[in-house]
Amino acid sequence: MSPNAAGRRPVSRSVAAGLPLAVLAALTAAVPASADSGDQARVVRTATLGDIPLAAFSNALLPGTVDDDRGVDLGGIGSDLYPTGRKGEFWTVTDRGPNGQIKVGGTKRRTFPVPGFDPAIVRIRVDGDAVKVLSAIPVTTSSGEPVTGLSNQASRDEAPYSYDASTPLSFNPNGLDTEGVVRAEDGTFWLVDEYGPSLVHVSARGKVLKRYVPEGLNLTGADYPVVEALPSVLLNRKINRGFEGLAQLPGGDLVIAVQSPLSLPDAASGNTSRTTRLFRFSPEKKAITAEYAYRFDPVEVVDPSEDDTSELKISSLVAVGRNRLLVQERTDKTARLHVVRLERGANILGGPWDDATTSPALEQLEDPAAAGVPVLSKRLLVDLGTVAGVPGKIEGVARVDDDTLAVINDNDFGMTDGTGAFDAQGRLVDSGIETRVVYVRLPHRI
């Protein structure tokens, strides 16, 4: 990626229509596909997103929102991957935008180098060895303003700072750290967010129709409807580890994953736990209808180079049947996909585990099944860490056909943490990590 300098009304149009030909030409940049041979899973296609200046991308959607992108290119679209129904085309979603951490006085501060950035739903096509942006939809409030990706509440979210961590920024109750995306039959979208954590219903044009949050969140001042319809136990989500995986079952129900174990009864317990939770939401009933305990494999099984259990995360869910899912377990280096069945008898909704005062908490149980907790059974489908050509930090997974998956990485907009993320002129020192869509052929049907 190359650093490029470039900063209100929502406009539903192809991003391509608003970008210079030179920028669009960059999208044709190719990377050779890699492949293994034999009976193992193998990469059969690799496509790379070219350089699109973030200001040009953002201002084509919401004019005037980004006055200086600090040399950051479009990235972060690897937060999820959902088929559009056309061959080689997918819906993706950005996260909250470029962000990092800088330690000041011994405390890490969360930086937002491009605070005007607005999360967007991005339609892409894998065209040979290139990822092409076909169109994008900005996520906006009821009055058409950008929601932004800024933190919501001083009481529970990281305080936002400028790119160099020197200047505090304002909290924004509209802000969304979007991660998962699916498209409903009526053309609307469902997103999940890490801040609340929340489930967000948006129109086909990106306007937030309703944001479902945990009971007791008390989010005020948002410029869209906020409904406290999720279990209050979710208030104990780890910072920056709220909802991340999202799947849409054939009947229309949604399944949501909490990225990491809840901090129950405290952060230390959450960091050492291997038990997280999945929730089933009925758009018809507008309510959570089931909750499931999901058990991670030991961290050294998921990633032999890692010994910190807190690095375990779920970033993607894929529906592969009426009650069957692919559940991704990952660290930042590697990922594994399991086939999971949502058994009716595994529903723990409304039981003692939804009470934050229950002791020991679900997250504290060393063997939940032995303690009488129904834990979802799982079967390993593929270990992506053993497949040559798969990038790190895979956050989006989609089913291409009966034996092929598409995966996409989150390149974090080329950002790194620390004071070296930007040069003396405040321009990005790019990590060099590109956004890639990789097709993985499995040795057997899903």
pLDDT band at 39 (very low <50, low <70, confident <90, very high): confident
301-311 pLDDT, tens per residue? Answer: 999 999 999 99
pLDDT digits (tens, 9 = 90+) for 64-83: 999 999 999 999 999 999 99
pLDDT digit string, tens, across residues 377-436: 999 999 999 999 999 999 999 999 999 999 999 999 999 999 999 999 999 999 999 999
Q: How many C-beta atoms surround the C-beta of residue 108 within 10 A?
A: 13
Distance CA 234, CA 194 (A): 11
Residues 226, 323: Cα–Cα separation, whole Å: 29
Confidence of residue 38 (pLDDT cuts 50, 70, 90): low
Which pLDDT does position 25 carry in this prediction? 40
CB atoms within 10 A of CB 220: 9
Cβ atoms of residues 180 and 191 within 8 Å: yes
DSSP 234: G
**Where are the extended beta strands (E) located within 243-356?**
243-248, 254-258, 275-282, 287-295, 317-319, 324-330, 335-341
Question: What tokens does 112 get?
Answer: 């937002």
Cα–Cα dist 211/41, whole Å: 39
* β-bridge partners, 325: 319, 340
Q: In what order do the strands lie in the sheet with 100-104?
A: 100-104, 107-111, 160-161
268-284 residue pLDDT tens = 999 999 999 999 999 99
d(CA 434, CA 122): 16
Q: Taking 70 as the threshold, does the pLDDT of residue 27 lie above it? A: no
CB 256 within 8 A of CB 201: no
Q: Residues for the chain: how many in total?
A: 446
Quick one: CA dihedral 353, 354, 359, 364, positive or negative? positive
Number of other CB atoms surrounding residue 188 within 10 Å: 17
Amino acid at 330: R
pLDDT at 3 over 70: no
Query: Residues 168, 159: contact at Cβ < 8 Å?
Result: yes
Rounded Cα distance, 225 and 313, in Å: 30
3-state secondary structure of 421: helix
Distance of alpha carbon 328 from alpha carbon 408, whole angstroms = 13
Mean pLDDT, all residues of the chain:
92
Burial letters for 247-260: b for 16+ Cβ neighbours within 10 Å, e otherwise? bbbeeebbbbbbbb
Q: Residue type at 10? A: P
Report whether pLDDT(14) > 90: no
For residue 7, pLDDT beyond 70:
no
Phi, psi for residue 104 in degrees, rounded to 5: -125, 120
DSSP 424: T
Query: Nearest 5°: phi and psi at 123?
Result: -95, 125
| Per-residue CA distances from 314 to 31, 70, 277 (Å) | 28, 31, 10
pLDDT at residue number 22:
39
For residue 101, pLDDT beyond 90 = yes
Where in the chain are the domains? 15-441
Each residue's pLDDT tens digit, 191-243? 999 999 999 999 999 999 999 999 999 999 999 999 999 999 999 999 999 99
Does the structure show a pLDDT above 60 at 187? yes
Peptide bond into 265 cis (omega under 30): yes
- Please give the single-letter amino acid code of residue 418: G
Cβ within 8 Å of residue 58, ≥6 positions away: 7, 65, 66, 69, 114, 116, 117, 118
